[in-house]
Structure 1
Amino acid sequence: MKRRTFVHIGATTLGALPLQGFSTLDFTAPAKPQWIIDLIKLNDRGFDNLFAAQIVDTTKKAYGAIKDGEEIPNVQSSGHFIAKAAIALANPESQYYQSADLLKKVGLAAQYLLKAQHADGTIDLLSTNFHSPPDTAFSVEKLAPAYVFLKTSQTKGVEPVLTALKTFLQRAGECLIVGGIHTPNHRWVVSAALVKLNELWPDPRYIKRVEQWLLEHIDLDPDGQYTEKSTGGYTPLVNRVLITIAKGLNKPEIFDAVRKNLNMTMYYVHPNGEVVTEASNRQDKGTIGTLENYYYSYRYLALRDQNGEYAAMCRLIEKTCFPKMVGSLDAYLEDPSFWRELPGSKALPDSYAKAFPHSGVVRIRRGNWDATLLSNNAGFLTFHKGNAVLQALRIAASFFGKGQFQSAEIKQEGDAWVLRNKLEGPYYQPYPVDQIDPTGNLDKMPRSNRQKSEVQYLDYTVKVTEIKDGIAVDFDLSGTDGVPVSLELIFRPGGELGSVKAHASKPKAFLLSAPTGSYTQGGDNIQFGSGLVEHQAVQLRGALPAMDAPTVYVTGFTPFKHRITLT
């Protein structure tokens, strides 16, 4: 692992942006901008399904709970319902404002939370974690604002619900001041939850625990990315909770880590507003990632810093995925200063070739197309042209069952980005006579002690260069001759392929024997070539399984020298 640099957390004063404590909000004030009102109305959607998912049979153990999509009642679904409902009950723009019926359902869900909470204050994430402090923190993050929204809603009969939520939250606080974590981001989620609890019910133990986690420093690498590299999931979450911590503890130096990540993320944006996810270490790896969860951080710091690039990112997010922003509406409502008009936009970077070596990523973008190169990844290249997406380029050879190519690093050599790998396939001689186990137990005769012979080698060199309106990828596989090679161009499902031939027996597999092929999605089109089909063994032994996506194959034998262009 490359050595990481860390942001030191000190104790300096908070900056000039006025912040309103979220325990004193007034949602009846006529100052909401239209985008907030639009999100409140979007938040109203889906309640009928949640009502149908609530267990109303008083004989059931999980009475009051909300079931998830797999019919499992759980704290997370129930807490989500409470958080969503609290927003609706507190805002006059909602059709459910001060609804007695909705409040009754919230009260049942709140009582379920108390029943599901363990004596130590923890809750379970039934899909994987039990007696889990970090999952408790995730719930606190949503339910602490919900408590405030309900309190300020002045809904008739809200007091018993507030009492139940206060009990749940304070019990949760007891586990968070002593409980452990699993992953790096959990430290900051736990800390942010404790900050929110401290704003409601000040307790020096909460702050002491936050300071203890902060002693570990923020795990930010020189590229501006956090350890988990989870651009589609945990990275924007970390940005948001770090802002919560910085505000709550008067530590504005923490904002520097968020700024560095936001600056990096501007270079991870595809032309259609999606975000690069292929380098992630978490569940979002290779998924279609959108930017809605970055909105809070970009807007907060755009206003604080009067930063035009951050403002432009906000406007891009509003344009490309506004409905998804409703998932963070509680964060937008907590601080009315967040509603102020954004500064003017400054042009975002859209023409660059930039390496992020600590993340193992190279990004090339020229206007409406971009390419991502990845080290330590079999899908070592992606190419986006608007909504037409080559989601992975892979190559493998049937070389001793280990011929799937990936490169440990990406080097810049002149105008090319170069990826390499070298494999060997040895055979082994009889075991040294004086070391043979008398029982013939092979576990006691490791193969490393055998002499190698007939060693075969396979060298991969892949060079990526820019050409007019796109890129060229040059492949050179040499060493052992006559090895079958299969090159995969894996496209995003939903588009239309042209000038390719369906494979005789493999579903979603196509062969490129024509000079060029095409992939079209909506009004966007990728041209690719050149074609080569010397055999039809597209799934080679030792290669990764085919992806569930339309895949075009180019096939040959070593020595294999071939160029693929993408425009």
Structure 2
Amino acid sequence: MNTTDQAYARIVQLNDERTATSMAKQVKDPESRFDGGVFDDTVGIAQANHVSTVSDLISWISSYVNPDSAHYHSIEVAERINRAVAFLLRRQHKDGTISLGSTNYHSPPDTAFIIVGLLQVHPLMKKDETSAIRPVCEGIETFLRRAVPAMRIGGCHTPNHRWVMTAALGGLHQLFPEEEGLVERAEEWLAEGLDFTEDGEFSERSNGIYNAVNDIMLYYAALYLNRPELLEPVRRNLNMMVYLTHPNGEVVTDYSGRQDFGNKATFVNYFLIYRLMAVKDGNGLFASMSDEAAKAMTHPGSSENQAMAGLLMYPDTQYLNVPRQPLPEQYEVMLNEHHPYKEQREQLKRVGHHGIVQHSAVHSAYGHPVGRYRDGKESATLMAAAPSFFSLRYGAARLLAVKWSTAMTPGIVAMDSLKKEAGSYHMKATLEKGYNGPLPTHARGKDSTWSLMPHQLRPLTHVQTHEVQVDIEHMENGWEFNLKAGEPEDVFTQITFLFSAEGELKGNGLQQTTNPQQFLWKNGDVTYESGQDRMILSGAAQDHTVELIRTDAHPLDCLAISINLLTPFEHRIRLTLEERKE
């Protein structure tokens, strides 16, 4: 490996550090069923899954086979590896699966995550050929062969699981070409069609976790199955992610459909796939993104996307020769602007599952528009079909969300649409609520149990329609919000600005509620400061004194400022950005 590759040197160091710290947590008790596993502090036991023991195992193997590692051909590491593989084999169920632990017992997709990870280090061990590692190769091959039946017939839960299963099936076919049905099963998953928009968004809209999973799994599937067309959504997603990164390296998670929603996440999980695709396409933008991800990396990654194993498995020295392209720091883009999300909403009513996908989610927000504005340290996100419609980073000052809550439905309003016209952003939502009449004669049964009645057949009475709208315009030193709502009259409405708790709020017109971190904004300006950066809100109102709209809730780690409005209304709020003056 070229020693001028700074990313490689950093990841060798990180992987060696992880090897040392995780080996210290390995259970060494022959009487324990967890012997050989790595103790997981978050659950209090060792687990044989892709984010715990197997992830550590892959770090150890990567250190053992790497001549640049401080643990290269270490006898102690070899012993630890053998013990961990024995643990993995004991925890594998008779049907060939493993259990995730936090959920998903006897899980084909979670087994597939492990398979893909082990397939990255198996060739490295075969090539190493030391006697200490030979039993490990045999043990891993045993695990993989036992898993074949589960992959051949197993199902999944989430959209990304399909591509994890596909990658695992393709890799097993390469390793065991005599096993029948693996490619055919992969083709069944692929026949469903790949779920990506023209701009590269996947179904789960998970910029912090599952985009990277989809990307790396489709890369492996393309490689194993000789299907280069599977790389097209990868390219599009990687291009999209360039515009979903804040100045500090965090990615936008404000509209995710998965557990990264609203949480801090960086793009370090994209390190390997950006690097692989930079070499494949000679793409300087991808190379620059991979470089930045390497600088932010503090951990080599989970088993299926392990940076050290990936660099050893695919040691392409051409990466250093890809001309770097500067990353954009000033842009204004609309993502999914032309996606037919309205047509999809209508199809959803007719598809037949009635919004229920067993053990999963519908992800009906897929394809809705997202606006991104970036200028230096200012980074704003505008979004439809999400719990909030606006978020903003200005240096150290973080406005995590602006949300609209109404007593109409009641609860948070997710905007139906987002359009950009003449330099302004326009969002709308239409809410309806009526009352259920008696069941028609033909729908009445002998059973009076409420839960067994065909409520979908009840006629609606007194249906009320409520339209809301927000127009957002970027000004020279901030943003302006024009909020509009019509009939019915006297609908309690609350606009809430959620700021990160590490900052400080100032304002004489703030009234603290029973929640010590929530304030009603009655009058005057409000200032939020963090570090050297400041946001100033103008446009207070208090048309009513409701502290929290029914079914709404604020995150515990936020400072919430709520403006109380009563319909009908048109109200303007100004958000000014400035640096603190010493």
Answer yes or no: same fold by TM over 0.5. yes
Q: Does 1:496 align with 2:504?
A: yes
Question: Structure 2 vs 1, CA of residues 176 and 490 (structure 1 numbering), >3 Å: closer, same or farther?
Answer: same
Distance 1:558 1:259 in 2: 46
Q: Are 1:525 and 2:534 an aligned pair? A: yes
Deviates more, 1:97-106 or 1:266-275: 266-275
Gap runs ≥5 in structure 1 = 1-28
SS of 1:87 mapped into structure 2: helix
Is 1:341 matched up with 2:320?
yes
- Does the 8 Å contact 2:374/2:380 carry over to 1? no
Q: Does 1:233 align with 2:247?
A: no
Q: Do the aligned partners of 2:14 and 2:300 also contact (CA within 8 Å) in 1?
A: no
RMSD after superposition: 3.1
Q: Which amino acid aligns with 1:62?
A: F
Given the superposition, is the C-alpha separation of residues 315 and 160 from structure 1 closer, same or farther in structure 2, using an over 3 Å criterion? closer
Change in CA separation of 1:146 and 1:355 when aligned onto 2, cut-off 3 Å: closer
Tell me, yes or no, if structure 1 residue 105 matches structure 2 residue 70: no
Instruction: Note if contact 2:513-2:520 (Cα within 8 Å) is conserved in structure 1.
Output: no
2:309 maps to 330
Q: Which amino acid aligns with 1:63?
A: D
What does residue range 315-326 of structure 1 map to in structure 2 within 5 Å? 315-319=291-295, 321-324=296-299
Q: How far 1:300 moved relative to its partner? A: 1.8
| Partner residue, 1:94 | 69
Partner residue in 1 for 2:47 = 74
1:45 corresponding residue in structure 2: 17
1:211 deviates by 3.5
Counterpart-to-counterpart distance in 1, 2:441 and 2:128: 84
**Contact 1:99–1:155 under 8 Å retained in 2:** no
**Structure 2 CA distance, aligned partners of 1:432 and 1:310?**
59
SS in 2 for 1:53: coil
Q: State the shift of 1:519 in Å.
A: 2.5
Map of 1:131-280 to 2, 5 A cutoff? 131-203=106-178, 205=180, 206-280=182-256
Question: What residue in structure 1 maps to residue 345 of structure 2?
Answer: none
Q: Distance in 1 between matches of 2:248 and 2:410?
A: 36
1:376 maps to 385
Q: Cα deviation per residue 1:150-202 (whole Å; 9 max; x = unaligned)?
A: 34445552222222122112222343233222222222212222333344444
Q: 1:303 aligns with which of 274, 279, 282?
A: 279
Shift in Å, 1:42: 1.0
Contact 1:299 1:338 in 2 (8 A): no
Is this contact kept in 2: 1:378–1:404, CA < 8 A? Answer: yes
> What does residue 351 of structure 1 align with?
331
Name the CA shift for 1:145/1:442 in 2 (closer, same or farther; >3 Å). closer
CA separation of 1:367 and 1:66: change in aligned 2, threshold 3 A: same
| 2:368 equivalent to 1:360 | yes
Paired AA for residue 424 in structure 2: A
Q: What CA distance in whole angstroms lies between the structure 2 residues aligned with 1:67 and 1:141?
A: 22
Q: What's the counterpart of residue 574 of structure 2?
A: 565
**Could you tell me which amino acid in structure 2 is paired with residue 73 of structure 1?**
A
Q: Would you say the 8 A contact 1:82–1:146 is kept in 2?
A: no
Give per-residue Cα distances to partners, 1:97-156, cap 9 Å, x unaligned. 211112112111111111111222211112211222211110112222233333444555
Equivalent AA in structure 2 for residue 277 of structure 1:
T
Change (3 A) 1:43 1:33: same
Letter in 2 for 1:112: F
When residues 100 and 428 of structure 1 are mapped into structure 2, their CA distance, relative to the original with a 3 A threshold, is closer
Q: Secondary structure of the residue that 1:519 maps to in structure 2?
A: strand
- Is the partner of 1:84 in helix, strand or coil? helix
* Cα deviation digits, residues 529-564 of structure 1 (max 9, x gap): 222344442212243455541111222333332222
| Match status 1:397 vs 2:369 | no
For residue 522 of structure 1, what is the amino acid of its counterpart? G
> 2:534 is matched by which residue type in structure 1?
N
* TM-score, length basis structure 2: 0.83
Unmatched tracts of structure 2, length 5 or more: 340-366, 578-582
Bigger shift: 122-131 or 420-429? 420-429
| Structure 1 position 435, deviation (Å) | 9.8
2:516 corresponds to 1:543: no
Call closer, same or farther: CA 1:96–1:448 in 2, change over 3 Å.
same
Tell me, yes or no, if structure 1 residue 114 matches structure 2 residue 89. Answer: yes
Q: Distance in 1 between matches of 2:84 and 2:271?
A: 29
Which of 95, 100, 104 in structure 2 is aligned with 1:129? 104
Are residues 203 and 522 of structure 1, via their aligned partners in 2, closer, same or farther at CA, if it must alter by over 3 Å? farther
The TM-score with structure 1 as length reference comes to: 0.85
The 3 A distance-change label for structure 1 pair 424 and 433 is: closer
- Would the alpha carbon gap of residues 204 and 117 (structure 1) be closer, same or farther in structure 2, given more than 3 Å must change? closer
